[in-house]
Amino acid sequence: MWEVSGGPARTPMLEGKQVVVGVTGGIAAYKAAEVVSRLRQLGAEVHVIMTRAATQLVGPLTFQTLSGNPVLTDLFAEPKRWNVEHIALADRADLLLIVPATANILGKLASGIADDYLSTTVMATAAPVVLAPAMHHRMWQNPVVQENVQRLRRLGYEIIEPEHGRLASGGVGMGRLPDPPVIVEAVVRLLGGRRDLDGLKVLVTAGPTRERLDPVRYLSNFSSGKMGYALAAAACRRGAQVILISGPVVLEPPTGVELVAVESAEEMAAEVRRRVGEVKVVVMAAAVADYRPAEPSTRKLKRGPDELALRLVPNADILASLRTQKKDLFLVGFAAETEDLVANARAKLERKHLDLICANRVDLPGCGFGSDTNALTLIDRRGRVVEIPLQDKLKVAHAVWDHVVRMLAEDGGGCLPDP
């Protein structure tokens, strides 16, 4: 975190790691220079491979100087260090990153074409390969490119999604390369060295709540708690101290997390308010019941011949009340939506004074309640909209924390422990 946000390095997180950076011929190639520089600052040994088109955009000397190693461009050039150089490099790499990745390289990798230094190295490596695509938005949305991306993801390539923003063509759309710190974060995470939440204490809520009708019946919802538990596990792995306040679920609590089990919305509200003073970040992933029975019966309700009307009273909105309780909290909410996702979620973000809202299309296959996968749209208070594509909930959780880390760094605090 510290290193990534540009502050002084405390420990070189990537010490001893070999990262091969492939640069292809997109206009964003200049941003790869900063990525190489940051990776080196983190202690990685960096080898750069440029495609011929990339060398038209940025001089190899730039990358040679920043990486401290010769830049590799020509498959048939005299080997500088090893015998079959691209194989040796593929063997030595702990991770291979292509930044920017053009539609061309995505197409080649998806179809098994190896016709230059970079594509042969990728084909020969057993290391994780991270692709950071960047291109014009219509190219990015082209069905062939999208199919290639899906295929590459299925084959195990890690894709850093491009962002929405101003493009080199002058237009605005999806296809912009994320800023170098975001790319470096992904590398650090994959190399297992990321402790970017060190010193941070967070509170995560998860699961449904149960609102009792009588001693044997309750009102609830289909939340499984998996997304909240994944968020707690991901934060813990990244060094955070985690309080997990959970409604009734059938999941094992993640190792290292402090679990507080609750049943109803009122109990959850009480526990959140009791513990919130200790933390910097609150993630409300719980599906809190909006209503509870007005008069829960202490005795089992008996079947009768008549209609039974239940009177419900609203539960307090836990999330909406937190900003007034503690001003400097970083608040993350969830919005389960079936339509007008971005507009509805943005309205919730504003109404509840949140920093970030994770909008969830609960009606789509593979998303939401009960599923092991999810897709989210993140909307932050700065107006950014980031799509997290359908994938394993733990990966989605890491992507949420990536955004939180980025916003905390932008706010200037980094992941400082509370005073």
- Residue 376 near ligand CTP by CB under 6 A: no
Least Å distance, CB 359 to ligand CTP, is 9
- Distance separating alpha carbons of residues 97 and 184, to the nearest angstrom: 10
Whole-angstrom distance, CA of residue 36 vs CA of residue 92: 17
Window contacting ligand CTP (CB under 6 A); options: 106-114, 145-153, 190-198, 312-320: 312-320
The least distance separating ligand CTP from the CB of residue 263, rounded to whole angstroms, comes to: 14
**Residue 279, amino acid:** V
Active site positions, annotated:
221
User: Shortest distance, CB of residue 364 to ligand CTP, whole angstroms?
Assistant: 16
CA distances from 65 to 33, 69, 224, 305, 351 (A): 10, 7, 51, 85, 50
# residues near ligand CTP by CB under 6 A: 14
Q: Per CB under 6 A, does 377 bind ligand CTP? A: no
Write out the binding residues for ligand CTP, residues 137-196 only, by CB under 6 A. none
Shorter beta-carbon distance to ligand CTP: residue 32 or 341: 341
Other CB atoms within 10 A of residue 15 CB: 11
Cβ–Cβ < 8 Å for 51, 115:
no
Amino acid letter for position 25: G
Instruction: Considering the complex, state which of residue 72 and residue 284 has its C-beta at the smaller distance from ligand CTP.
Output: 284
284 interacts with ligand CTP by CB under 6 A: yes
375 binds ligand CTP (CB under 6 A): no
Closer residue to ligand CTP in complex, CB, 183/227? 227
What is d(CA 186, CA 196) in angstroms, rounded to the nearest whole number? Answer: 11
Q: Closer to ligand CTP by CB, 147 or 363: give it.
A: 363
Closest separation in Å from C-beta 164 to ligand CTP: 23
Residue 57 lies near ligand CTP (rule: CB under 6 A): no
Judge contact between 380 and 234, C-beta under 8 A.
no
Assess 318 for contact with ligand CTP (CB under 6 A): yes
Residue closer to ligand CTP (CB basis): 132 or 286? 286
Report the site for ligand CTP in 323-352 (rule: CB under 6 A).
333-336, 348
288, 376, 396, 409: residue in contact with ligand CTP (rule CB under 6 A): 288
Hey, which residues does 335 pair with through a beta bridge? 359
Cα 334 to Cα 325: distance, rounded to the nearest angstrom: 19
C-beta closer to ligand CTP: residue 267 or 317: 317
Question: Which residue from 91, 161, 214, 317 is in contact with ligand CTP, where contact means CB under 6 A?
Answer: 317
Cβ at position 358, least distance to ligand CTP in Å: 8
Rounded least distance, CB 259 to ligand CTP, Å:
17
Q: Angle 407-411-415 (CA atoms, 0-180°, nearest 5)?
A: 70
Output the smallest distance, CB 265 to ligand CTP, in A.
Answer: 6
**Could you say which residues in the range 239-268 bind ligand CTP, by CB under 6 A?**
265
Q: Looking at beta carbons only, is 17 or 226 nearer to ligand CTP?
A: 226
Binding segment toward ligand CTP, per CB under 6 A, in 32-40, 80-88, 176-184, 283-291: 283-291
Quick one: which of 24, 67, 102, 315 contacts ligand CTP (CB under 6 A)?
Answer: 315
Q: Which residues bind ligand CTP (CB under 6 A)?
A: 265, 284, 286, 288, 290, 315, 317-319, 333-336, 348
